[in-house]
Structure 1
Amino acid sequence: MINGERRIERPLRWAMVGGGRTSQVGYKHRTGALRDNTAFQLVAGAFDMDFARGRDFGVNIGVAAERCYPDYKSLFAEEAKRPDGVEAVTIATPNGTHYEITKAALNAGLHVICEKPLFFKVEEAEEIKALAEEKGRILGVTYGFSGQSMLLQMRAMVAAGAIGDVTIVNLQYTHGYGCDPTGDKTNESQKWRVDPAVAGPSFVLGDLSTHTYYMSNLILPDMRIKELLCDRQSFVGTRAPLEDNAHVMMHYENGAVGTMWVSAVNAGCMTGQRIRIVGTKASLEWWDAYPTELRHEVQGQPGQILYRGTDYLDGIAKDDERLGALHVEGLSESWANIYLKFAIAMDAKNRGDEELLKDLVYPSIDGGLEGVRWIANCVKSAEQGSVWVKYE
């Protein structure tokens, strides 16, 4: 159980690029990183493209004015001159900037935590993975939902054979906030998401489905996609060629089949992320509206609900427990769990502890690279007329 005691010798000196006053995700990053004040300490940042606004924001959250920088280049250069310079940086900027900032951060000797999707191209992700390995740095990806402990319970139960052989994977991440296109022009956090030059080749496939796809890989680490078919739509026509709705069908190498529905135009939907894993003996289902519960349905028996924080769970789920059974936790705890693991991974890399890293489960560069690969294959299928394509 996590109780706030230090897991590494001292907090890592940490900075942010982006994540300022108008950011949709900046507070989530800080909540996650600073929940355990033994993991990270926020000491610097380039929080905003508007330097004056970014500096004012940084000072208001406790960062010294002289360590609030106008851009990432000056942040990296000036912090490198300090004996107490930053050791890790979070990149919470629009998609189109991730590659250049991540590359600069690794070349500056920093560990990196980056928003998803990592980059536009698989080749870029493979290049950055090689660079991180060359520099001996950790690159984590903020799949923020993936720190939910009941997902690890699903992983353990599948591995133990509790549901038999996996046959069907049903994934969904939908909401209705894209029904009104007004925000495409007026909302700072929305405008860039529907601009191909900044968002990349997809909207909801990159912004939403990569979360759920990563979680499916977390639960099913040994299953690989053989081929997929993606059918995507722009129901708000001004978003074309970017999609605001998509359906993906998958064939796995072990013979299992899967589906993903991802949408920003599921009118009225507020909690549309679900994962259902079906096996030959039983099924497991998790819904982010009830993140502390896991439904376990054995064929021929009454369905049961497993609850977070209880003694009957697997050790891998109990290790990430924070509050105890009956005390509701949510997305903030999930972010805190992955940020704590980022810190543990960075400390282990600094110490050369590859044995610890081998068994640590967290969203690493491999998960980020696979997310880029997922998007690329979905886009390829859709652009060829929604046909089956070999997963490459």
Structure 2
Amino acid sequence: MLNGEKKIVKPLRWGMVGGGRLSQVGYKHRTGALRDHTAFQLVAGAFDIDPERGRDFGVNIGVDADRCYPDYKTMFAEEALREDGVEVVSIATPNGTHYEICKAALEAGLHVICEKPLFFTSQEGEEIKTLAEEQGKIVGVTYGFSGNQMLLQMRAMIEQGKIGDIRVVELQYTHGFNSNDKSDKTSDAQKWRVDPKVAGPSFVLGDLSTHTYYMSQLIMPHMKIKKLLCDRQSFIGTRAPLEDNAFVLMQYENGAVGRLWTSSINAGCMDGHRIRIVGSKASLEWWDSKGGELKFEVQGEPAQTLIRAMPYLDESCNADERLGALHVEGLSEAWANIYLKFAIAIDAKKRNDKETLKHLVYPDIDAGIEGIRWIENCVRSADNGSVWVEFQNKKALLV
């Protein structure tokens, strides 16, 4: 159980790029990083494309005015001159800016925590991975839902053979908040998400399904996709060529099959984020709306509901539990869990603690690159007439 005691010697000096007053994700980053005040200390930021608004915001959340910078380049340069300068930076900006900011941060000697999807291409991902290795730095990706500890319970039960051989994977992340085009015109945060120059080659595949795809990989680390077929639609025509709805069929190397539905036009749906894994003996199902519960259904036996923080759960699951049974946890705690693991990873990297890094489960640079490959393969299938395609690995995609 986590209770706020320090996991590293002293908090990391942390800065943010983006995540200001108008950001949809900035508060999630700060809630996650600062929940364990022993892990991160927010000391600087370039919070907004509008320097004055960014400075005003930074001061209002407790950052010294002289460390609220007009842009990330100024922040990196000025902080490098300070003995107490930032050690790690979070990037909470639109997709199209991630690569250049991440590269600049690594070249400035900083560890990086970045929003998803990381970059536009897996080649960019491989370049950043090489740079991070050369610099001896960590790059983490904020797949925030993945910090829900019941996903680790699913992982443990599958590893222990509790559900048998995996046969079917059912993934869904849908909502209805973009079922019309109003937000495309009125919300700055939505406008860029449907602009290919800023968002990249996809909308909901990158914005939503990369979360769910990574979570499935966390749960089933040995399950690799062999082929997939993606059919994507732009029900709001002005969003084309970016999709607001997509279906993906998958064939795994072990013979299992899967399907994923991702959508922002599922009208009336408030939370359609679900994962169901069907095995030869039993099934597991998790739903974000009831993130502290896990359905365990053994064929021929009464269905069970496993509850967060109970002693019958696996040690790996309960190690990330924070509030105790009967007290509801949610997305804030999930973000706090991954940010704490980012801190542990950064600390281990600084100490060259390879053993800790080897066993730490968190969304790292490889997870980010895999998310990009997921998008690339889905787009390739859809744009070639929604055909089955071999799931290309990094070597194939770089040719």
TM-score range, shorter chain: over 0.9
Q: AA paired with 2:20?
A: G
User: CA RMSD of the aligned region, Å?
Assistant: 0.4
Q: Deviations over 1:39-73 (max 9, x none)?
A: 00000000000000000000000000100111110
Shift of 1:186: 1.1
Superposed counterparts of 1:64-213, under 5 Å:
64-213=64-213
Question: What is residue 276 of structure 2 aligned with on the other side?
Answer: 276
Distance in 1 between the 2:122 and 2:28 partners? 27
Shift of 1:182: 1.1
Distance in 1 between the 2:186 and 2:325 partners? 42
Distance in 1 between the 2:186 and 2:71 partners? 24
Question: What is residue 334 of structure 2 aligned with on the other side?
Answer: 334
Distance in 1 between the 2:345 and 2:240 partners? 40
Q: AA paired with 2:216?
A: S
Question: What is residue 9 of structure 1 aligned with on the other side?
Answer: 9
Shift of 1:21: 0.3
Question: What is residue 397 of structure 2 aligned with on the other side?
Answer: none
Shift of 1:378: 0.2
Report SS of the residue matched to 2:30.
helix
Superposed counterparts of 1:230-245, under 5 Å:
230-245=230-245
Report SS of the residue matched to 2:113.
strand
Q: Deviations over 1:336-384 (max 9, x none)?
A: 0000000000000000101100000001011100000000000000000
Question: What is residue 265 of structure 2 aligned with on the other side?
Answer: 265
Shift of 1:180: 1.9
Question: What is residue 42 of structure 1 aligned with on the other side?
Answer: 42
Q: AA paired with 1:252?
A: Y
Shift of 1:4: 0.3
Distance in 1 between the 2:284 and 2:129 partners? 33
Any unmatched runs of 5+ in structure 2?
A: 393-399
Question: What is residue 395 of structure 2 aligned with on the other side?
Answer: none
Q: AA paired with 1:190?
A: Q
Report SS of the residue matched to 1:289.
helix
Report SS of the residue matched to 2:132.
helix
Q: AA paired with 1:24?
A: Q
Shift of 1:147: 0.3
Report SS of the residue matched to 1:269.
coil
Q: AA paired with 2:390?
A: K
Report SS of the residue matched to 1:5.
coil
Distance in 2 between the 1:368 and 1:361 partners? 14
Question: What is residue 288 of structure 1 aligned with on the other side?
Answer: 288
Q: AA paired with 1:92?
A: A
Q: AA paired with 1:23?
A: S
Q: Deviations over 1:267-323 (max 9, x none)?
A: 000010000000000000000000000000000111000000000000000100101
Q: AA paired with 1:236?
A: I
Q: Deviations over 1:159-179 (max 9, x none)?
A: 000000001000000000011
Question: What is residue 350 of structure 1 aligned with on the other side?
Answer: 350
Distance in 2 between the 1:112 and 1:193 partners? 22
Aligned length: 392
Distance in 2 between the 1:188 and 1:267 partners? 21
Distance in 2 between the 1:258 and 1:128 partners? 31
Question: What is residue 308 of structure 1 aligned with on the other side?
Answer: 308
Q: AA paired with 1:291?
A: G
Distance in 1 between the 2:255 and 2:241 partners? 33
Q: AA paired with 1:311?
A: P
TM-score with structure 2 setting the length: 0.98
Distance in 1 between the 2:275 and 2:84 partners? 43
Shift of 1:134: 1.0
Shift of 1:130: 1.1
Report SS of the residue matched to 2:251.
strand
Any unmatched runs of 5+ in structure 1?
A: none
Shift of 1:82: 0.3
Please say if 1:26 is aligned against 2:26. Answer: yes
Report SS of the residue matched to 2:309.
coil
Q: AA paired with 1:98?
A: H
Question: What is residue 246 of structure 1 aligned with on the other side?
Answer: 246
Report SS of the residue matched to 1:176.
coil
Report SS of the residue matched to 1:180.
coil
Q: AA paired with 1:350?
A: K
Q: Using the aligned pairs only, state the percent identity.
A: 74
Q: AA paired with 1:284?
A: L
Please say if 1:386 is aligned against 2:386. Answer: yes
Q: AA paired with 1:255?
A: G
Runs in 1 of length 4+ with deviation above 2 angstroms? none
Report SS of the residue matched to 2:192.
helix
Distance in 2 between the 1:10 and 1:60 partners? 25
Distance in 1 between the 2:27 and 2:314 partners? 31
Report SS of the residue matched to 2:154.
helix
Q: AA paired with 2:353?
A: D
Report SS of the residue matched to 2:289.
coil
TM-score with structure 1 setting the length: 1.00
Shift of 1:141: 0.2
